[in-house]
């Protein structure tokens, strides 16, 4: 490449500044601040652009050379390279990315595109900026680097020897990249890196897998063990539950009992409250009230006795003897009452009936008497008729006898005939008896009416006779006679039949008279019948009367109306007295006809009255005393109630009721209180009734165990190990610490092995690449090193007029120069010589690197490189450099006038700014 | 006809610890629960009479008490549908386990937590047989033969391994045993993949998990619907997808693409094609393959940032589009390097060495271009 022309359109101090360059060698001279560094920078910027801040963070070329005109930074170059002539125009923006580059092929006048991401220098020189700075640019340290020591520079230079010109990156960089990628996988120490981590992870996973497999195997046993333990626990729990249930049942029972006791107690407290008593008052009040009530009651009872006796307000104690006497009096009163009743209900009506019957009977006998008188003149007639009848009968009888004998069948006729005869006879006798009886009865009755006892006897006797007569009449007689010889009978019978005809004639004559008589007799007969009917009625009535009378008399006679002696007159007798007097009055009224009884009653009345009067007086006094006592005690009692605030108690009954209630309630309260206290002490339960009730509601009652059962259960329970639960939980925990499954770990292992293999392959490939690249580098260095030594030696000899001919580059990169058989470090030499050595080395490297076929020649930008040289050395250097201008365009800058002169003498075109 | 739903290996309580992001973990936990609820709702929707759960309903034998209660409540709500559960190796029954309190389980839930027993449903002409795990392992088979009955379905519910019965400690079930079981249908749990088979007169199936737990459980997941049609000897089986999200693994060729946005666009197009417009809800493991131009700027981080899917794992298996042979001819550092590594690829003893050298070449050349740590 040869640069023909620089055109600084706007760059730093320059504006539309044009500078034509010689294609061979030139020196641009100018004093300080004349812009030679600006020109140098312009060329670098045009070829390589702005590479950002330098390493010290100093201003970049871009900011350093902003146009003083304030316009946009811009410039152009005309150059030839690769057999083309180009115009390159650049406009610089604020930043690198805003820069624009335009390339025009001046041969064809066409725009040529710059390959992407490529700078002009890279495109045309096949060198990046770093490469160019190490080859084409030789300058004072400090412009583009930090001025490190020469050794460092040497090292860089030499290392770049291994880099051919077509590589945009140093071998070192490539190695570093490979190494970095390798280190990413595995650090130098082998402790870090992706591959190391992955391998570690894999190892851990494999260990985890082993552990998991082992654990799973163990688990099979653990599961069995767990089963065993579970069964044991279940058995134990069952035992415990049984015992607990028992205990709970006991507690429940106790609680139930306690609750009941509390409730009972509370009930009593409530009852006390309802009675307006405070439970705590009970122990003091109760005995006192009891005493007071007892007193009042005693007084009251005393009075009550009197009250009981007389049924009134009076009340008096009475002895047993008195009571017996009183009872006797009552008995007697009752007896009198009975007598009275008897008289009224039995005796009196019996008498009335008897009198009625008697009257009826008397009428009948009167009729009988009249009829009997009518019958009296007919006696003769009757006698005749009787005789006739008798004859007829006898005749008939004989006929019958004969007839019977003749005809046995005629017996009955005869018998009948006899029976009728006998009846007639009987009738006659009866009439006599009846007449007598009735007479006697009449007399008796008359006597009875005048209340003479004998009359009764007489009347009774008459009645008896009458009755006997009537009885006789009803008694039939029967006789049986026999018949005689039959043959005689027939004749006699005929005679008798004739006789019978006569008799019959006579009888027919008598018949009308007899008929009249019969009518009368029939009338009489009827009356007699009536009398006969009345007779028993009358007798019965009289009997009843008599019997009752007799009874009443007997009772009356037996009634001991002699009153017993009363030891204590009783007030109760007042009523009795009244009653008795009433009864007696009745009795008297009833017995008014009975003088004797009346006298008895009067006496009795008198006696009773007297005794009662006596007793009444004593009793009155006692009653007064008792009443007083009753009032006092009751008052005291009521006063106490008043004091207690129970004003509603106004009498003893209430007081008693109240006390009874209070006593009952109070005692119950005390009892229940004591029960609660003792149950609490025994069971130790402190819960309130509400808590108890709540707990009991939930509790279920279970049957209690027997002591033996309980012992058995406890013994069985003791046989279980105490740490059964711990064992179970431990085992459960072990099972639960299951972690990940083998399958899952296998997944991960599978994935990880793939990763490890990939990384491993990559690592090995990187290692292979590195070692191979290193080998290539070493080989190339080997290949370059002798040439470099030779070339640098030549150049150094030229520069030093053959004084020094050999240059050595040891591994330390401290340049050594051979001087009279021995090597000296460059620093050991004078600074001028050292500079010569570096220049020689630098050019040797540049030439070695850029002598490739087809490669464009490199313009050498030399920044005042000879300022430390003396004139001799400088002249040598110019000569030497001029010889290089065949190969390179030389563009050298200096601010030293003497160098400009020397340059001109040695064929350099000199341009002065 | 009796309709039965079979749902296996739900693993409720699964932590999704494989997901590094806590929120995504929680989301997946929610997904799992939601799928469980959806399955129950589905049972109601299709008027199923029975829901069979052959084990691993819970992920652990000691699930969280709150979870257990939620599950119990959920089952209670779908009554009168009968739920029949057999415990599995993950949620085996033991003294004190959540299965140990039958009174807490709703009346419509029947538990098989021990030895082989049965449950009759005479109205449906069905007898359900089952047994449950009582320990992490069941080395002896839990299945017992039953007597087949005509016009009566004999159904088994069991957690067990019918695939490696010779070595499995998880209720090993040999084909012979299944064939001689006398069952019309055996609802199995344990294998998380959906598998259906028949040996002898017995048809059986693993419903697979209804919601995936990781990239080893890829594809659509759900439950099985079993229609027991009179006259048939085995039920008609229909798969009903229910999973909230799927795990999917695929390769995408990025050859010739230059930027993250181009790559992202290609991947998105491909996902939409394969998994529908709702593809964003799924979890993907994507292998990036193909040759990238040297100038291409595609990074895993950049690509991840541009791809909006629930979860994404990228495997970068791309290489640079470079003519290695030509590069090897250049006497430059990169040229020399390429030449050397190519020689090693040629000399590789095996594929692994070869792949390693290939990757070394790619990484080395990448290192000339960019910082490798950024890309990773
Ligand atoms: Mn499972």
Domain positions in chain A are 370-536
Chain B from 120 to 159: CB within 8 A of any A CB:
134-137
CA atoms within 13 A on the CB side of A32: 0
Chain B from 29 to 88: CB within 8 A of any A CB:
59-62
CB B42 within 8 A of CB B5: yes
* Residues of chain B above pLDDT 70, percent: 99
What are the structure tokens assigned to B22, written together? 């806590």
Question: pLDDT tens-digit profile of B262-276?
Answer: 999 999 999 999 999
Mutation for testing the B interface, residue in A118, A172, A174 having most B CBs under 10 Å: A174
Distance B29 CA to ligand 1 centre (A): 16
What are the structure tokens assigned to A145, written together? 């680097």
Q: What number of C-beta contacts closer than 8 Å exist between A and B? A: 140
Instruction: Tell if the CB–CB gap between A741 and B216 is shorter than 8 Å.
Output: no
Instruction: Tell if the CB–CB gap between B360 and A180 is shorter than 8 Å.
Output: no
pLDDT band for position B86 (cuts 50, 70, 90): very high
b/e code A720-756 from CB counts within 10 Å (16+ = b): beeeeeebbeebbeebeebebbbbbbbbbbebbeebb
Contacts of A227 in chain B (CB under 8 A): 94-95
pLDDT for position A148:
41
Mean pLDDT of B306-325: 90
Residue B163 CA, chain-centre distance (Å), reads 17
pLDDT for position A499:
76
Q: Which residue reads 């936990």 in tokens?
A: B29
Contacts of A126 in chain B (CB under 8 A): none
Of B125, B87, B84, B123, which Cα lies nearest the Cα of B107?
A: B84
* B367 closest CB neighbour out of A177, A224, A768: A177
The Cα–Cα gap between A509 and A500 comes to: 14
The alpha carbon dihedral of A140, A145, A150, A155 has a sign of: negative
* B332 closest CB neighbour out of A164, A219, A750: A164
Question: pLDDT tens-digit profile of A521-558?
Answer: 788 888 888 878 877 887 887 788 778 777 777 776 66
What are the structure tokens assigned to A641, written together? 């109630």
pLDDT for position B203:
96
- Identify whether A72 is preceded by a cis peptide bond (ω within 30 of 0): no
CB B318 within 8 A of CB B298: yes
B51, pLDDT greater than 90: yes
Name the minimum distance, in Å, from the CA of A96 to any CA of chain B: 21
Of B114, B104, B110, which Cα lies nearest the Cα of B128?
A: B110
What are the structure tokens assigned to A374, written together? 């009518």
Question: pLDDT tens-digit profile of A725-773?
Answer: 888 888 877 776 566 778 778 888 888 898 899 899 999 999 999 999 8
The Cα–Cα gap between B230 and B125 comes to: 10
Residue B33 CB: number of other CB atoms within 10 A? 19
Residue ranges of chain A with per-residue pLDDT less than 50: 55, 141-151, 162, 164-167, 311-317, 409-410, 413, 475-484, 563-570, 572-573, 593, 595, 598
Distance B189 CA to ligand 1 centre (A): 7
* A220 closest CB neighbour out of B135, B357, B359: B135
Instruction: Tell if the CB–CB gap between B371 and A765 is shorter than 8 Å.
Output: no
Name the minimum distance, in Å, from the CA of B192 to any CA of chain A: 11
Ion ligand 1 neighbours, Cβ < 5 Å: B 9, 56
The Cα–Cα gap between B75 and B83 comes to: 7
CA atoms within 13 A on the CB side of A584: 24
Least confident residue range of A425-434, B117-126, B161-170, B337-346:
A425-434
DSSP A433-490: HHHHHHHHHHHHHHHHHTT-HHHHHHHHHHHHHHHHHHHHHT-----------HHHHH
Query: What rounded mean pLDDT belongs to chain A?
Result: 76
Q: Does B345 touch chain A (CB under 8 A)?
A: no
What domains sit in chain B, N to C, each tagged with a CATH number?
A: 2-241 (3.60.21.10), 247-375 (no CATH)
Contacts of B368 in chain A (CB under 8 A): 167, 169, 174
Nearest CA in chain A to B63: A736
Phi and psi angles of residue A893, each rounded to the nearest 5 degrees, phi first: -115, 145
Distance A890 CA to ligand 1 centre (A): 81
Instruction: Tell if the CB–CB gap between A162 and B363 is shorter than 8 Å.
Output: no
B36, pLDDT greater than 90: yes
Q: Does B348 touch chain A (CB under 8 A)?
A: no
Query: What is the CA angle B195-B201-B203, rounded to 5?
Result: 20
């Amino acid at each position: 490449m040869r640069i023909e022309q620089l055109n600084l359109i706007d760059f730093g101090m320059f504006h539309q500044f044009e500078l034509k360059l010689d294609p061979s060698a030139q020196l641009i001279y100018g004093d300080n601040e004349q812009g030679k560094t600006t020109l140098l920078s312009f060329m670098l910027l045009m070829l390589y652009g702005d590479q950002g801040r330098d390493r010290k963070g100093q201003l970049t070329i871009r900011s350093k050379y902003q146009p003083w005109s304030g316009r946009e930074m811009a410039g152009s170059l005309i150059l030839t390279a690769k057999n083309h002539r180009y115009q390159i125009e650049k406009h610089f923006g604020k930043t690198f990315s805003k820069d624009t580059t335009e390339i025009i092929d001046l041969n064809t006048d066409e725009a040529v595109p710059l390959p992407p991401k490529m700078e002009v220098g890279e495109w045309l020189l096949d060198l990046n900026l770093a490469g160019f700075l190490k080859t084409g640019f030789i300058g004072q340290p400090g412009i583009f680097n930090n001025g490190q020591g020469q050794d460092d520079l040497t090292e860089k230079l030499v290392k770049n020897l291994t880099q051919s010109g077509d590589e945009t990156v140093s071998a070192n960089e490539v190695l570093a990249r490979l190494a970095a990628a390798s280190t990413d996988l595995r650090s130098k120490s082998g402790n870090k890196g992706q591959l190391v981590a992955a391998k570690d992870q894999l190892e851990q996973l494999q260990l985890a897998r082993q552990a998991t497999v082992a654990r799973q195997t163990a688990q099979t046993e653990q599961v069995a063990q767990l089963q065993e333990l579970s069964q044991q626990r279940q058995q134990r729990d069952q035992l415990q539950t049984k015992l607990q249930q028992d205990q709970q049942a006991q507690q429940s029972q106790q609680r139930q009992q306690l609750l009941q006791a509390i409730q009972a107690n509370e009930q009593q407290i409530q009852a006390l409250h309802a009675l307006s008593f405070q439970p705590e008052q009970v122990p003091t009040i109760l005995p006192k009230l009891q005493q007071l009530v007892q007193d009042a009651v005693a007084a009251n009872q005393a009075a009550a006795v009197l009250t009981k006796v007389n049924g009134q307000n009076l009340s008096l104690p009475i002895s047993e003897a008195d009571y017996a006497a009183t009872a006797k009096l009552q008995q007697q009163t009752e007896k009198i009452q009975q007598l009275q009743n008897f008289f009224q209900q039995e005796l009196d009506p019996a008498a009335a009936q008897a009198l009625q019957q008697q009257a009826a009977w008397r009428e009948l006998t009167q009729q009988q008497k009249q009829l009997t008188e009518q019958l009296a003149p007919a006696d003769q007639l009757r006698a005749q008729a009787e005789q006739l009848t008798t004859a007829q009968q006898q005749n008939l009888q004989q006929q019958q006898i004969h007839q019977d004998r003749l005809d046995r069948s005629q017996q009955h006729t005869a018998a009948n005939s006899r029976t009728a005869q006998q009846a007639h006879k009987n009738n006659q006798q009866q009439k006599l008896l009846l007449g007598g009886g009735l007479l006697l009865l009449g007399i008796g009755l008359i006597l009875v009416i005048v209340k003479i006892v004998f009359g009764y006897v007489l009347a009774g006797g008459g009645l008896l006779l009458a009755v006997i007569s009537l009885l006789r009449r009803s008694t039939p007689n029967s006789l049986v006679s026999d018949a005689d010889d039959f043959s005689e009978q027939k004749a006699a019978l005929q005679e008798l039949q004739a006789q019978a005809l006569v008799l019959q004639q006579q009888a027919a004559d008598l018949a009308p008279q007899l008929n009249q008589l019969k009518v009368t007799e029939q009338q009489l007969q009827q009356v007699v019948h009536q009398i006969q009917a009345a007779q028993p009625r009358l007798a019965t009535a009289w009997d009843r009367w008599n019997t009752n009378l007799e009874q009443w008399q007997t009772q009356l006679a037996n009634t001991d109306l002699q009153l017993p002696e009363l030891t204590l007159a009783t007030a109760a007798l007042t009523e009795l007295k009244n009653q008795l007097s009433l009864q007696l009055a009745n009795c008297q009224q009833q017995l008014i006809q009975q003088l004797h009884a009346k006298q008895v009653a009067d006496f009795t009345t008198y006696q009773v009255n007297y005794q009662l009067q006596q007793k009444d007086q004593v009793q009155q006094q006692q009653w007064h005393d008792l009443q007083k006592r009753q009032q006092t005690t009751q008052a005291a009692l009521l006063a106490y109630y008043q004091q207690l605030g129970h004003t509603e108690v106004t009498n003893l009954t209430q007081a008693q009721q109240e006390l009874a209630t209070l006593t009952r309630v109070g005692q119950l309260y005390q009892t229940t209180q004591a029960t609660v206290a003792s149950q609490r002490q025994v069971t130790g339960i402190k819960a309130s009734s509400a808590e108890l009730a709540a707990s009991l509601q939930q509790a279920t009652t279970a049957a209690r165990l027997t002591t033996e059962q309980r012992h058995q259960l406890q013994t069985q329970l003791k046989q279980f190990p105490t740490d059964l639960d711990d064992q179970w939980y431990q085992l459960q925990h072990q099972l639960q610490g299951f972690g990940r499954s083998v399958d899952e770990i296998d997944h991960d292992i599978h994935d990880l092995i793939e990763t490890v293999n990939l990384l491993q392959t990559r690592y090995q490939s990187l290692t292979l690449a590195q070692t191979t690249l290193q080998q290539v580098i070493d080989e190339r260095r080997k290949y370059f090193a002798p040439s470099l030594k030779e070339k640098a030696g030549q150049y150094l000899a030229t520069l030093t007029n053959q004084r020094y001919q050999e240059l050595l580059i040891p591994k330390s990169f401290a340049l050594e120069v051979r001087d009279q058989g021995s090597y000296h470090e460059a620093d050991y030499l004078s600074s001028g010589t050292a500079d010569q050595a570096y220049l020689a080395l630098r050019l040797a490297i540049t030439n070695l690197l850029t002598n490739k076929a087809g490669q464009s020649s490199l313009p050498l930008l030399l920044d005042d490189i000879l300022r430390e040289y003396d004139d001799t050395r400088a002249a040598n250097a110019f000569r030497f450099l001029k010889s290089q201008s065949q190969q390179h365009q030389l563009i050298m800058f200096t601010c030293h006038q003497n160098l400009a002169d020397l340059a001109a003498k040695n064929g350099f075109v000199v341009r002065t700014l | 006809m009796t309709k039965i739903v079979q749902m296996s290996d739900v693993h409720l309580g699964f932590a999704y610890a494989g997901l590094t992001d806590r929120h995504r973990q929680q989301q997946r936990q929610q997904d799992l629960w939601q799928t469980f609820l959806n399955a129950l709702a589905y049972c109601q929707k299709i008027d199923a009479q029975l829901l069979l759960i052959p084990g691993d309903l819970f992920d652990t034998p000691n699930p969280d008490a709150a979870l257990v209660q939620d599950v119990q409540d959920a089952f209670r709500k779908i009554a009168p549908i009968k739920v029949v559960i057999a415990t599995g190796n993950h949620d085996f029954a033991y003294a004190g386990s959540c299965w140990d309190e039958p009174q807490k389980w709703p009346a419509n839930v029947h538990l098989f937590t021990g030895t082989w027993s049965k449950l009759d449903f005479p109205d449906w002409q069905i007898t359900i047989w089952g047994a449950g795990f009582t320990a992490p392992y069941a080395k002896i088979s839990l299945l017992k033969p039953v007597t087949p009955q005509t016009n009566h379905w004999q159904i088994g519910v069991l957690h067990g391994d019918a695939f490696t019965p010779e070595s499995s400690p998880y209720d090993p079930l040999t084909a012979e045993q299944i064939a001689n079981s006398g069952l019309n249908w055996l609802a199995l749990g344990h294998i998380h993949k959906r598998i259906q088979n028949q040996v002898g007169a017995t048809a059986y199936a693993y419903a697979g998990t209804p919601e995936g737990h990781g990239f080893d459980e890829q594809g659509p997941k759900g439950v099985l619907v079993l229609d027991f049609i009179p006259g048939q000897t085995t039920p008609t089986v229909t798969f009903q997808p229910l999973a909230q999200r799927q795990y999917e693994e695929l390769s995408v060729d990025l050859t010739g693409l230059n930027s993250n946005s181009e790559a992202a666009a290609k991947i998105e197009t491909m996902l939409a094609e394969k998994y529908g417009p709702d593809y964003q809800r799924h979890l993907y493991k994507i292998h990036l393959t193909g040759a990238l131009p040297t100038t291409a700027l595609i990074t895993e981080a950049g690509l991840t940032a541009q791809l909006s899917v629930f979860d994404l794992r990228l495997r970068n298996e791309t290489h640079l589009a470079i003519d290695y042979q030509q590069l090897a001819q250049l006497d430059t550092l990169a040229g020399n390097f390429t030449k050397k590594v190519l020689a090693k690829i040629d000399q590789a003893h095996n594929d692994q060495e070869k792949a390693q050298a290939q990757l070394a070449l790619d990484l080395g050349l990448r290192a000339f271009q960019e910082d490798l740590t950024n890309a990773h």
